[in-house]
């Protein structure tokens, strides 16, 4: 078990190496890729050895940038949610305002209708009722 752990530790201490191929296209275009180039394209194999300290610093910097990105994204999402909630409340307030206006107009129309009915009833009481049977008798009496 100790031997396996020691071998693993020795393997991790060696600098990381990556295999990269530089491909030169027919029109002079250069591309870099991790797989070998096609048969008709000129290729050059590049050996890249990484320094563990530089790798660790780059990983730390990457983690910092990701953390900053995540916090900005979270604050942006919170701001969008707040704006959506405020927009919803404003729309609901506008709907409620329109309902109140409609109810006020309805109440005004009912008041106006009631006034008209009262006015008609007053005029009907003031005018004498002409019953054809009695109207004929009053003419005969004169």
% residues pLDDT > 90 (the chain) = 42
| Residue boundaries of the structural domains of the chain | 16-49
pTM over 0.95: no
Query: What CA–CA distances, in Å, run from 22 to 39, 41, 47, 90?
Result: 13, 10, 11, 59
- CA 31 to CA 38: how far, in whole Å? 12
Q: What is the per-residue pLDDT across 80-92, written as a single tens digit (0 to 9) for each?
A: 999 999 999 999 9
Beta carbons of 48 and 20 less than 8 angstroms apart: yes
Backbone dihedral region of 84: left (phi > 0), alpha (psi from -120 to 50 degrees) or beta?
alpha
pLDDT of residue 142: 47
Phi/psi for 136 (5° steps) reads -65, -40
pLDDT of residue 130: 57
Q: What is the CA radius of gyration of the chain?
A: 47
């Amino acid at each position: 078990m100790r031997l396996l752990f020691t071998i693993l530790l020795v393997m991790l201490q060696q600098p990381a190496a990556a295999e990269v191929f530089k491909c030169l296209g027919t029109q002079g275009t250069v591309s870099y890729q991790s797989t070998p180039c096609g048969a008709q394209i000129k290729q050059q194999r590049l050996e890249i050895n990484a320094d563990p300290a530089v790798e660790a610093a780059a990983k730390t910097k990457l983690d910092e940038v990701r953390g900053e990105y995540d916090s900005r994204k979270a604050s942006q999402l919170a701001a969008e949610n707040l704006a959506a909630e405020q927009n919803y409340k404003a729309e609901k307030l506008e709907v409620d305002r329109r309902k109140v206006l409609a109810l006020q107009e309805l109440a005004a129309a009912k008041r106006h209708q009631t006034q008209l009915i009262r006015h008609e009833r007053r005029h009907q009481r003031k005018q004498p009722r002409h019953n054809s049977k009695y109207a004929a008798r009053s003419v005969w009496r004169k």
